[in-house]
Amino acid sequence: MQWLRTDGMRIVNEDGQTVYLRGTNFGSWLLIEPWIPSMMPRPDSAELEKVVLRSARKIGKEEEAKQVFEEFKGKPRMKDMEFFEAWRNRFTELAGQVAAARLALDVLPHIGLVDESRLWKLFEKRFSKAQVQELKDAFRSSWINEQDVVAVKNANMNMVRVPFFCQLLEDDDHPGVYRDDGWRWLDAVVGWGRKHGVYILLDMHGVPGGQNDAGHSGVAMRNLLWFRPEWQDRAAALWKAVASRYADEPTVLGYDLMNEPWGAQTPKVLHDFHDRLYKTIREVDSRHIIVMEEGYKQLWTFPSPARRGWTNVVYSLHFYMPRDKGTQPFESLARRLMPQWYLLMRSYNVPLFVGEFSSQTEEGGGAAAMEIAFREMNRYGFHWAPWTYKKVDMDPPQSFWGLYMWPGKWPGVQVNTGSFKLIKEAMARYDSANFVPHKGYLEAYKRHGCSAPGADAELLKNMDARIAALMPGLKRTMGVTLQEDEALKTLATCKAAAEAFRELGGDGSEFLEMGPFYFELGGHLPEAAERAVIREFGSIQAFSDVWMRLSAGIWFVPRGGAEMTSIDADLTVAPETVQLLARLKPKIDAAAAEMAGRKGQSVDVTQP
C-alpha cells in the first residue's frame, strides 16, 4: 500500500493522487464498551429491584429508589434497556447526578458493566489469570477478525479506525512494560489491512489516566490525565512506543492521539498536550499523519497548525444528532454547519476527518439520515467513519448503531454468575458470521464510500479562490487599538464571507448564530480594558457578542502568543477599541442584518 500524507486540505498518496478516506470504527474490540456487545445478563425484575434498593440504601437514597419503582408500576411494559434508562433518568431527577452515578456503579455489575476495566476485574475475582486471558482472547478473536476487514473492503470502504485501550498494551501496575499479547492484536489488524488494501487508523480511545470521565475511555468516572504529570508521561511514552513499532508501515494511515478529550479544562490545555504528543511521535516517526480531535470544544478552538509548527496533521470532530427527530437534524447539519466546517478547514489548510457519527435509531433517521451525511460530507471532500461497525441489542427492533446487527433476541452474557465454560461459549457468539447487515445502511456505504466531491468540485474550487483572497483580512490580529477604517474593512470582509457561506449552502442567520459568541474574555483583559468594557456595554458578555459578531464568529478568532488560558490566542483589547466598537454598534448591527439576509433592517449583536 502507498504512504498517505496531507497536502493542504487534501490527503494524497505517493503519486500525488487525492485519496478520500471512507470507513468505519471497529468499536468495542480492543476497548470494550459493554453496552455495544450487550455484555450483560437478563435480570429477573424482582431480583433487580432488590439489588437496586440494596445499593440505594448504601448511599442513603432508598426512598427515592422506592418512589421510582412505584411510579413505573403503572406504566406500559418497556424493553429492558429502555426501562433501565428511563428508571435512571427519573432517579437522577429525584436523587441527583452524583447519587445516580454511584448507584449505577454498584448496580451495573448485576445487569451489565460500565467499562472494560471493571469487566476484567470482575472476571479476575471469579477465574484464574489464565482463564481471564482465555476469555480476552475468545472475545477479541470473535468480535473482529480478518473476515471483518474483507467485509469492510466489500462495502466500498478503504479505512478503519481502530480504537484501543492503553491497558491493551500496559498494566497500571507495570507502566512502561508493554504486553506482547496486546501488540499481537494491533499487528494482526494492520496485517489484515495490508493484505486486503484497507488503511488502519490507530486511535488511542482510552488514554492513561483517562482523557474524559466516560466508560468509553476504559475506566469510568476518572479524568486524571490532565491533572497528573505521571499519566501524561505514560501517554507520551506509549505513543512513542506505538509510533516506533509502526514507523515504517504504510498500511497505518496515521495516529488518532486521543478520543473525545473533553476532560481538558480549556482548549489551550488540550492543544498544548496535543503539541507534546505530536513532538514525541515526530522523534521516531516523521511520515505518518497525526489526527487531533477537538473534544467537543468546537473546531474554531484549534490553533493554526503553521503557528504550532505542525505538519502532516488532520483535524477531527465527532457529532451525534437527536435520536427521535428523523432526518431533519442531518439536513440542518448539512445546510448550516458543514459549510462552516469547510471554511474553517480552508482557513487552517488541513483536512477534516469526521471520526464518529450515527443516526442511532430508525426514529433518528436510520439509513436515510446516514445517506445524507455521507453524500454531503463527500460534497466537501471530508473524510469519515461512522460509529460503529457492529452492535448487539438486547431485543428487537435493532438500533442503528452498527452496520452489522445481531438478529433477534440476544440471550445475554451471564458475566457475574455464569460458569467459565458458558461465558466462553457466549464469547464465541460474537463472531460476525452470526450477524446480519442493515441492508439500507450497507447500500448507502456502497453508493458513497470512496467517492469524490463529483459535481461540486468546480464550486469548491471557485470558493477556495475567493476564500484565499479573503484570508488576509480574516487573519488580522486585532490586539492593537482598532481604527475605524480597519473596523469598517472588517465588516466588509465579514459580509463577503457571509456571501461565500451562503453560496456553499449555508444560511445567513446561521452564519451569525453558530459562531463562538460565548468567547470567554473575562479574566483575560487588561484591567483598564475591562473597566471600559463594562462601562460601555454593561457586561463582558455583551461586549463579547459584539466582538465576535464583528469578527464573524468562526471566521476570525484572534490567534497569537501563549498567555491566553481559555483558547490558543492572545487577545488584548485597548479601551479605545471598546469605545470605537460602542460608537460603531449601529453599523455593526446593520452589517449583521445584511449578513443574515435582512437588508434595511437591524440585528442587535448584543442579543445572541
In this prediction, residue 379 carries a pLDDT of 87
Rounded-to-integer distance, Cα 264 and Cα 602, Å:
39
Average pLDDT over residues 213-219: 90
Phi, psi of 502 (to 5 degrees): -65, -35
In this prediction, residue 102 carries a pLDDT of 79
Q: C-alpha cell of 398?
A: 435493532
Average pLDDT over residues 219-228: 90
Average pLDDT over residues 118-126: 92
Rounded-to-integer distance, Cα 198 and Cα 193, Å:
4
**Closest residue by Cα to residue 257 from 214, 218, 288, 298:** 288
Rounded-to-integer distance, Cα 234 and Cα 236, Å:
5
Rounded-to-integer distance, Cα 336 and Cα 322, Å:
16
In this prediction, residue 371 carries a pLDDT of 95
CB-count exposure of residue 347 (10 Å: 0-12, 13-18, 19+): buried
Average pLDDT over residues 417-439: 95
CB 528 within 8 A of CB 537: no
Q: Is pLDDT above 60 for 517?
A: no
Q: C-alpha cell of 523?
A: 479574566
In this prediction, residue 523 carries a pLDDT of 41
CA distances from 256 to 119, 200, 206, 342, 567 (A): 25, 11, 11, 21, 21
Q: C-alpha cell of 166?
A: 492503553
* Highest averaged pLDDT of the listed ranges 51-60, 421-430, 536-545, 594-603: 421-430
Residue-wise pLDDT tens digits, 315-365: 999 999 988 889 999 998 887 778 778 877 887 889 999 999 999 999 999
Q: Is pLDDT above 60 for 563?
A: no
Phi, psi of 125 (to 5 degrees): -75, -25
Q: Is pLDDT above 90 for 157?
A: yes
Residue 9 banded pLDDT, cuts 50, 70, 90? very high
CA distances from 220 to 115, 139, 223, 227, 285 (A): 6, 21, 8, 16, 32
Place of cell 418512589: 67
What 3-state DSSP class applies to 47?
A: helix
Question: What burial letters (b/e) apply to 259-295, b meaning 16+ CB within 10 Å?
Answer: bbbbbbebbbbbbebbbbbbebbbeebebbbbbbbbb
Rounded-to-integer distance, Cα 410 and Cα 24, Å:
24
- Chain-centre distance for alpha carbon 46: 38
Average pLDDT over residues 67-87: 77
Q: What share of the chain is helix, strand, coil (3-state, %, to 5)?
A: 50, 10, 40
Return the HEC string of 407-455: CCCCCCCCCCCCCHHHHHHHHHCCCHHHCEECHHHHHHHHHHCCCCCHH
**Closest residue by Cα to residue 129 from 120, 139, 116:** 120
In this prediction, residue 478 carries a pLDDT of 40
Identity of residue 466: R
Average pLDDT over residues 307-318: 95
Nearest 5 degrees, angle CA 260-CA 264-CA 266? 120
* Highest averaged pLDDT of the listed ranges 18-22, 320-324, 520-524: 18-22
pTM exceeding the 0.85 threshold for the entire prediction: no
Rounded-to-integer distance, Cα 210 and Cα 7, Å:
32
The number of helices, as runs of H, and strands, as runs of E, in the chain is 22, 13
Question: Which class does domain 19-36+118-452 fall in?
Answer: alpha beta
Phi, psi of 159 (to 5 degrees): -155, 160
In this prediction, residue 280 carries a pLDDT of 98
Q: Is pLDDT above 70 for 540?
A: no
- Characterize the bridge pairing of strands 5-7 and 10-12: antiparallel
Residue-wise pLDDT tens digits, 138-153: 999 999 999 999 999 9
Domain chopping of the chain, boundaries: 19-36+118-452, 45-111, 468-595
State the DSSP code for 400. B
CB 209 within 8 A of CB 234: yes
Rounded-to-integer distance, Cα 501 and Cα 524, Å:
31
Higher pLDDT, 417 or 498: 417
